[in-house]
Structure 1
Amino acid sequence: MNPYSKAETQFSQNAENYRDSPIFAAGEELEWMKVIANTKGHEHLLDIGSGAGHTVFSFSDIISKGIGIDVTHKMIEVAEALAKERHLDHITFQQAGAEALPFSEASFDLVTCRFAAHHFPNLRASMSEISRVLKKGGKFLLVDHYAPENRAQDEFINHLNRLRDPSHVRESSLSEWKELFADNHLTKEDIHYWDLQIDYQDWIKRGRTPESVQKEIVSHLQAADPETKQLFQLQFDEHYQPTSLCLKAALLQGIKQ
């Protein structure tokens, strides 16, 4: 069975929403990433889980070549159309998975991955591949939401995300990321943490979550203990229906040793 089949199903039906969503199309973290990258203009960049291409497009003015990969053919089509529309001839896209990158060793000065790693079916293999294709001294910039170290809260947020999006595999904790970076010869630096604010109805619509599952999600949110509700900033209306929440997000940098 294709390990990415759930992701392909999820994002093929929804590519335009991810193209247009402000969470993916904009976001302060894109500028933070560019500042941390500190490129000179000659760099080659690989963006993993590129979706509609927003991350690699944001770097287009400070690199000489950018490649975005995604497992979803429809997403690749959307990204290619945007690149053509913006006349970005040095930005290309191809269909590939993170755990088997179709590139030789030390091919890239910079690897980015933004809000995609929690979909990877084999994160350890993916991190090994990221390290392999990075040049010595090259940078890996990761943006993703992460799980708390508290096991119950970890299970709460991962179960919530899997209910809403079956292609969600796992958002890792910061201690897990620390281990993954170390195991793959990446010197880890914690750059920024923030609360990723989520409008509940937009989140559900973007996920195309079936109505039957929506009821399960509401029950899951309502049943959260007070500390968990506070941590994820769960908000409800007068009928105790969810209106908003936040995910805990981080920008991490790894430098290839």
Structure 2
Amino acid sequence: MDIKKDVQKQFGRSADEYVKSSGHRKGEDLKKLVEIARVTGIEHVLDVATGGGHTANAFASLVNKVTAVDLTPEMLTAAEKFIKGNGHSNVAFVEGDAEKLPFPDDTFDIVTCRIAPHHFPNVQHFVSEVHRVLKTNSQFLLDDNVAPEVNEYDQFYNKIEKIRDYSHFRAWKKTEWINMLEHVGFEIQELYRFEKRFDFNSWCDRMKMSQTDKESLNDYIVSSNQEVKNKFRITIQQNKVESFLGEAVLLKAIKS
């Protein structure tokens, strides 16, 4: 699909920025994700759409082996440099599609996926694939930005993400995630919500937006109605957007 080529193009040129991104590198959600994982040290972990490799890196010292898979070769190169630079030698790097994972059934003890599914054009295929490659009674740790339940706010958030990043497909609602996971046979054990403050300039610059596109996005946000501004805690100074507040959820689900 064209969107997958878009993802490869977009993240291929932004790979190093994602390794350095503080939201990806130091987020409280990553700390919580590792904390709630049930780990004994013998596990084989699959990190889907590893991006800068932050989740794979966090698990490398806690488990036997980590396999980091990503659609974008440049991302895998950047992740490998980052992870090996931290002294980890038990991480394998595999180029692959989250919606068609190149692994046998019942292979992994834990599957993780962090801040990535909003790029997947068929997220239900991804959820089914995770269920397939996990062993029975094993853990899926899912962490992604989500859209509000109110349709107006959902549409606003997904629109600004799409303007900023043409490889964005859809941030799903919390209820949509619960529905998809339970329908393929996962039982949700834990759910956490995180507020995410986005600095407008660094958020745009990470995607290497042109100044013209950045100004157009700024004007679209500034012209939004007051209810939207209130919902997303949008801060504006002299007609320039400074920041806004999004949200993410972290889910721990078990393959039953």
Render the CA deviation track for 1:87-119: whole Å, top value 9, x for unaligned.
311111111110110111111110111100100
- Could you say what secondary structure the match of 2:32 adopts? helix
Greater shift, 120-129 or 207-216, is seen at 207-216
Percent identical: 32
Please give the secondary structure, in 1, of the residue aligned with 2:244.
Answer: strand
Q: Displacement of 1:177 after TM fit?
A: 0.5
Counterpart contact for 2:29–2:194, Cα < 8 Å: no
1:214 deviates by: 1.6
* Partner SS, residue 60 of structure 2: coil
**Where in structure 1 are there 5+ consecutive unaligned residues?**
none
Q: Identify the residue that residue 89 of structure 2 maps to in structure 1.
A: 89
TM superposition shift of 1:190? 4.2
Q: How many Å separate the matches in 2 of 1:191 and 1:124? A: 19
- Asked whether the 8 Å contact 2:103–2:133 carries over to 1, the reply is yes
* TM superposition shift of 1:52: 1.5
Match of 2:28 in 1: 28
The equivalent residue for 2:211 is 211
How far the C-alpha of 1:40 sits from its partner, in A, is: 0.4
Distance in 1 (alpha carbons) for counterparts of 2:33 and 2:122: 25
Q: Which aligned pairs between 1:70-219 and structure 2 lie closer than 5 A?
A: 70-219=70-219
Distance 2:42 2:63 in 1: 6
Aligned equivalents of 1:240, 1:80: Cα separation in 2: 41
In structure 2, the residue corresponding to 1:59 is in which secondary structure?
helix
Moved more, 213-222 or 137-146: 213-222
> What residue identity is the alignment partner of 1:246?
L
Letter in 1 for 2:205: K
CA contact (8 A) 2:61 2:88 kept: no
Q: Deviation per CA, 1:106-160: give whole Å up to 9, x if none.
A: 1111011110010011101111000001111111111111111111111100000
The 3 A distance-change label for structure 1 pair 158 and 190 is farther
How far 1:28 moved relative to its partner?
1.5
Q: Does 2:58 match 1:45?
A: no
Cross-structure match for 1:228: 228
User: Deviations for 1:67-86, whole angstroms, at most 9, x for unmatched residues?
Assistant: 11111110111111223322
- Does structure 2 conserve the Cα–Cα contact (< 8 Å) formed by 1:200 and 1:243? yes
Residue of structure 1 equivalent to 2:249: 250
Larger mean Cα displacement after TM superposition, 2-11 or 112-121: 2-11
Does residue 58 of structure 1 match 2:58?
Answer: yes
Counting matched residue pairs gives 256
Give CA deviations for 1:160-198 in whole Å, capped at 9, x if unaligned: 000000000000001110111111111124421121111
Distance 1:227 1:88 in 2: 47
Q: In the TM superposition, what is the alpha-carbon distance from 1:3 to its structure 2 partner?
A: 4.0
Q: Is the 8 A contact 1:232 1:248 kept in 2?
A: no
State the TM-score, normalized to the length of structure 2.
Answer: 0.96
Deviation, 1:9, is: 0.8
How far apart, CA to CA, are the structure 2 residues paired with 1:188 and 1:146?
A: 17
Rounded Cα–Cα distance in structure 2 between residues aligned with 1:193 and 1:168: 21
1:16 partnered with 2:30:
no
